[in-house]
Amino acid sequence: MTMMKKLLTSAVASAMMVGGAQAAISNDTVKIGYLADMSGTYRDLAGPNGLKALEMAIADFGGQVNGAKIEVVSADDRNSPDTSSSTVRRWVENEDVDLVAGMVASSVSIAVSKILEEHDRLGIISGSAASSITNEHCTPNHIHYVYDTYPLANGTASAVVKEGGKTWYMLTADYAFGHALEGDVTRVVEANGGEIIGSVRHPFPTQDFSSFILQAQASGADVIGLANAGADTTNAITTASEFGVTQSGQTLAALLLFLTDVHALGAQTAQGIQLTTGWYWDMNDETREWSDRFMEETGVRPTMVHAGIYSSAMQYLKAVEATGSDDAQTVRKQMMDTPINDMFAKNGKIRVDGRMVHDMYLAEVKTPAESKNEWDLYKILRTIPAEESYRPLSESKCKLVNN
């Protein structure tokens, strides 16, 4: 063999070794950290049952990827950016966590995404709502999967204004999510010829909504918009019912309402409320089949967040399998290149800004007479196509987008 051939052969072999090293799954383990509110305001919409959805995905995948085992660690974020940042920093620096999943409070997700970018690990955010997560707070290290405040406003607020709710008073959770939702609702209301005539921000979380509901009621607005979530929303709706808000002619617009919230309120209290959702358990045979399995495991029907956690975990594991790697950028690119077609979404896709775009749905809570059982709570009024639901990239402030 000539010297030139020897050098060429050596170079090719070295390149293959380097490529193989880059593609390998680190430590022969795919480690996923599940971070969510496990005990507070957002417990029911994600919480322990979100962890169960993640575990279902891993079991359905076979418990391993290309021979590498899949491990899960979990923690209660206590809806605290500081607590969450400390947990995730420990996970990525000391425990070799590859993916952080779950994440509900938007302030938590924004804080955690900075750490993931710093350490080049991946996060999939399924519970948070603030559209800023893939706008001004975007990073190349996270994906926002289930929904955000932009389609919530496009769906619910647009429908309510078109039905005659021209003047609005906003009751807003005083942190990143609430501010983002109020901003997106204001945009939609004004674009449709309506007006925000006042607003009040409440601490997160809040037990007593009496003074806030009285202020909103006294405003005389056609619509009281609730820019909050979880127990805050159910507490506000219950208080509004006690004060006879809807009986006096005002409309209550719950801008982020989950199936578990409606179930807790009951159809008698929640009937007629319109909401926007990214998924519903009783939409078709595929959603019902998965939801039946979930209910066998948990005793409850899944929220859109539970379904999104399962779907996103499956998409992540498929990308690791296809690439043979748990490298964050390798996996993220594979996920972006692969359309999402499962029980959660059809023709879903992950954009360069990290936003997973898919159809959303305008729903209405059934009356007690319409409801066949305790979980038969929604009727789907219309589909909001993906291209109408999410902020167009042409309006994005994300650093990853070349407008």
What sign for the dihedral angle of Cα 51, 57, 58, 59? positive
Q: Which contacts of 23-28 are long-range, i.e. CB under 8 A and separated by 24 or more positions?
A: 23/323, 23/324, 23/325, 23/327, 23/330, 24/324, 24/325, 25/65, 25/66, 25/68, 25/320, 25/324, 25/325, 25/326, 26/96, 26/98, 26/326, 27/96, 28/67, 28/68, 28/69
Give residue 13's pLDDT. Answer: 39
Tally of CB atoms within 10 A around 67 = 7
How far apart CA 173 and CA 138 sit, in angstroms, is 22
pLDDT, residue 5, reads 40
pLDDT at 14: 39
Please name each of the domains of the chain with its CATH number: 27-147+283-358 (3.40.50.2300), 150-277 (3.40.50.2300)
Q: Is 85 exposed, middle or buried (0-12, 13-18, 19+ CB in 10 A)?
A: middle
Q: What pLDDT, on the 0 to 100 scale, is given for residue 12?
A: 38
Report residue 188 as tokens: 């939609």
Q: Using only C-alpha atoms, what is the Rg of the chain? A: 22
Which residues, other chains included, contact 20 with Cβ-Cβ below 8 Å and sequence gap of 6+? Answer: none
- Please state, as a whole number, how many other Cβ atoms lie within 10 Å of the Cβ of residue 256: 25
Q: In what order do the strands lie in the sheet with 167-173?
A: 195-202, 167-173, 223-227, 251-254
Is the separation of the CB atoms in 173 and 166 below 8 Å? no
| CA angle, 300 then 303 then 309, to 5° | 110
**Is the separation of the CB atoms in 234 and 257 below 8 Å?**
no
The answer, yes or no, to whether the previous bond of 205 is cis (omega within 30 of 0) is yes
What is the pLDDT tens value at each position of the chain, 403 positions in all?
Answer: 444 444 443 443 333 333 333 458 999 999 999 999 999 999 999 999 999 999 999 999 999 999 999 999 999 999 999 999 999 999 999 999 999 999 999 999 999 999 999 999 999 999 999 999 999 999 999 999 999 999 999 899 999 998 899 999 999 999 999 999 999 999 999 999 999 999 999 999 999 999 999 999 999 999 999 999 999 999 999 999 899 988 888 999 999 999 999 999 999 989 888 899 999 999 999 999 999 999 999 999 999 999 999 999 999 999 999 999 999 999 999 999 999 999 999 999 999 999 999 999 999 999 999 999 999 999 999 999 999 999 999 999 999 998 5
Q: Are 159 and 398 in contact (CB under 8 A)?
A: no
Three-state SS for 269? helix
CB 390 within 8 A of CB 354: no
Q: What's the pLDDT at 93?
A: 98
Tokens encoding 390: 């999410």
Q: Are 131 and 107 in contact (CB under 8 A)?
A: no
